[in-house]
Structure 1
């Protein structure tokens, strides 16, 4: 099982950020016994997978409080005696089969994103899986990530990525990228695409950063057609279809 697939399954469980981090550490420890990982690296994986957006320092403290891992300069390493404890949290997703995701009639139909790029197809697959199985915060965060990726692809295709990067070449946050994209001199986007982009960013931000907010089906359902239009238009602008 790949890490991405493991994280998709983790999303099915009610776990804290510290438990997510320890489960991810357990996954890597299974491949490389005794591996150490820093809290910042674990936080990044949690965010990228759409499991949450923990503060690295707070995550470090939370992991320490569990007393299930040893802390050193190289990061956290699982205590050998606690591997089974963590496995017990996730045993149901280890023994289950891969989720059957409806790709043809999903939130983002396969016809829109098929034969583009592997990393885009994987995110779109996860969006469909999260929406189908009721993980709406996960779907929201992954949609936000997909849109951000596609916008950057559009700028790189046009060789205008300097518009959305700082002096060191680091890309702006999504809000800055969208602000430029919908500007008259930005990307050549349709009126509806511009409107949906603003709403998508807001929903993704709330799911990722507002600890009291939980997305529900209606939040995503009401912009479903618009989202399909946005994804399709950005893929066309970046000429990503093979």
Structure 2
């Protein structure tokens, strides 16, 4: 998980200075696979993300009195086992739960598209996560899949799914799009001209050997 996403998830802005150090130390130890942390590294991280420590000497005094920290050497600390356990109870899934896809509406507006079908939510979040991390080929392939699924669901919702089936199975996306563009029951909006573009970009990303999807293609 990226730091900016972690900061938002743990609501860092609402924490005390000691609480901020504890949360960032926990993040640092998890992402760097270390058991200890240097205080100056943690305070530098806090400064860089807009949460500077106003008085480091006072902070050190707080650390020495806190049951959540143990001093190793001058400037080096570790979170106590109890502190780690408490933090893990609340935040471990942010690092280790594979079912959690951290994303925002980078490409598809999740406030509009999510919340209807669980399997579709995961795909939409994968599109946004890939796009946000500049994995444009992956985003294009996932987008093609979301596009195909939503089209099929639209046909099913109107009870006309047999129009895009052959021998009981759904036809290829190219034929679904050809039908959808001119289907009076489906009544696609003015965006129908873009349907082939979405399909083609996904196809290029998945099958063309020398092709790389770029941001400007979206």
TM-score by length of 2: 0.53
Residue deviations 1:4-34 (CA, integer Å, cap 9, x gap): xxxxxxxxxxxxxxxxxxxxxxxxxxxxxxx
- The alpha carbon displacement at 1:184 in A equals 4.4
8 A Cα contact 1:101 1:132, kept in partner: no
Please state whether the residue corresponding to 1:182 is helix, strand or coil: helix
Question: What CA distance in whole angstroms lies between the structure 2 residues aligned with 1:119 and 1:217?
Answer: 25
Which structure has more relative contact order (CA 8 Å, sep 6+)? It is: 1
* Corresponding residue for residue 124 of structure 1: 124
5 Å matches for 1:191-202? 191=190, 193-202=191-200
- The alpha carbon displacement at 1:212 in A equals 1.0
8 A Cα contact 1:107 1:131, kept in partner: yes
Residue deviations 1:188-208 (CA, integer Å, cap 9, x gap): 1111x2012111011111111
8 A Cα contact 2:155 2:161, kept in partner: yes
CA separation of 1:100 and 1:179: change in aligned 2, threshold 3 A: closer
Residue deviations 1:167-211 (CA, integer Å, cap 9, x gap): x211011100000000143511111x2012111011111111111
Question: Displaced runs of 4+ in structure 1, greater than 6 A?
Answer: none
Question: What CA distance in whole angstroms lies between the structure 1 residues aligned with 2:171 and 2:139?
Answer: 22
Question: What CA distance in whole angstroms lies between the structure 2 residues aligned with 1:119 and 1:139?
Answer: 16
Aligned pairs, number: 122
Question: What CA distance in whole angstroms lies between the structure 2 residues aligned with 1:185 and 1:163?
Answer: 12
Matched, 1:190 2:189: yes
Query: Which has more radius of gyration?
Result: 2
* Corresponding residue for residue 215 of structure 1: 213
* Corresponding residue for residue 80 of structure 1: none
8 A Cα contact 2:103 2:128, kept in partner: yes
Question: What CA distance in whole angstroms lies between the structure 2 residues aligned with 1:209 and 1:186?
Answer: 32
TM-score by length of 1: 0.47
Unaligned residue ranges in structure 2 (runs of 5+):
1-94
Output the aligned Cα RMSD. 1.8
Question: What CA distance in whole angstroms lies between the structure 2 residues aligned with 1:100 and 1:117?
Answer: 15
* Corresponding residue for residue 175 of structure 2: 176
Unaligned residue ranges in structure 1 (runs of 5+):
1-95, 221-242
8 A Cα contact 2:101 2:125, kept in partner: no
* Corresponding residue for residue 203 of structure 1: 201
Question: What CA distance in whole angstroms lies between the structure 1 residues aligned with 2:103 and 2:192?
Answer: 28
8 A Cα contact 1:181 1:187, kept in partner: yes
* Corresponding residue for residue 152 of structure 2: 152
Please state whether the residue corresponding to 2:170 is helix, strand or coil: coil
- The alpha carbon displacement at 1:100 in A equals 7.4
Question: What CA distance in whole angstroms lies between the structure 1 residues aligned with 2:109 and 2:160?
Answer: 30
